[in-house]
Amino acid sequence: MHNEHKMKLFACRASKDFAMKVAKALNLDLGESDVLTFSDGEFQPSFNESVRGATVFIVQSTCPPTDNLFELLLMADAAKRASAHSVIAVMPYFGWARQDRKDKPRVSIGAKLVANMLHAAGCDRVMTCDLHADQIQGFFDFPVDHIYASTVFLPYLKAKNIENLAIAAPDMGGAKRANAYARYLQCPVIICHKSREKANVVGSITAIGDIEGKNVVIVDDIIDTAGTLAKAANVLKDMGAASVRACATHAVFSGPAYERIAESALEEVLVSDTIPLSQDPSKDKSKITVLTMTDIFADIINKVYNYEEISSSFIN
């Protein structure tokens, strides 16, 4: 079925490379847009071509700083005011997703606030990858296409033919994800249990499961400061694991993350390109392998645009 509304793909500044690869996979030219920056830091994005009646896809990961989120909101608003037929926010990394509930008194639920803002800015749909919590889809009153990085990670891990493989969850919250990986790879699961003293600071970690002689792959959605990951890897190694690798969708890599990975017992850290890695040459990236999500995003964009079903694109 051919869609009568023209497809247009635009990129915000944090995801330019990602969007260019998606455009290439779709045989599309990336739309022309600009950002005017005032001397006080205020900025104004604009489209340099007509989007009237078009289905507009705007690609932007909302990793910090907040400017990235706000740029996406301004772009969506500009598209709506320029008479776009529909506006679809393509957010490879959905920031603020860790604030998905009130885990202590008097805090915001940031993920819900971001959902409300996207709606207010004029988005008709969101496409994202490995949300921190699945229920965030319910924070939106319009469709959410939730893409899984396992679609690229699992074939990679399978092709490696790792003997005595075990999948580990770095904490109780990741047990469901780890279980899905273990089912596909037909191997046992190890659960790590951690106590946090405060945000970004891990107290102690213990591991539950058969670890001795296993080649362990820790599966997570986000690596932020890599504190949990490095500690879990070292604990697993101390408990007799033959090797420890990690696999996580979003390489936030803040603070001492690169140093911690380099110095840890980890052999390889597998991440996707939803967030670009640091361009700083002093950062040790020797253990980091990046798999691209651009082909799967291009596939889903194409299917959504042509009103085709997308469930067959996922590994269950």
> Is 303 one of the catalytic residues?
no
Q: Which residue has the tokens 């645009």?
A: 305
- Distance separating alpha carbons of residues 83 and 85, to the nearest angstrom: 6
- Distance separating alpha carbons of residues 72 and 69, to the nearest angstrom: 5
CB 62 within 8 A of CB 95: yes
Q: What is the DSSP string of 104-162?
A: STT---HHHHHHHHHHHHT-SEEEEES-SSGGGGGG-SS-EEEE-THHHHHHHHHHTT-
Phi, psi of 159 (to 5 degrees): -65, -25
Among candidate residues 8, 80, 158, 194, the one labeled active-site is: 194
- Distance separating alpha carbons of residues 247 and 270, to the nearest angstrom: 4
Strands 189-198 and 165-169: what pairing?
parallel
Q: Active-site residues: which are they?
A: 194
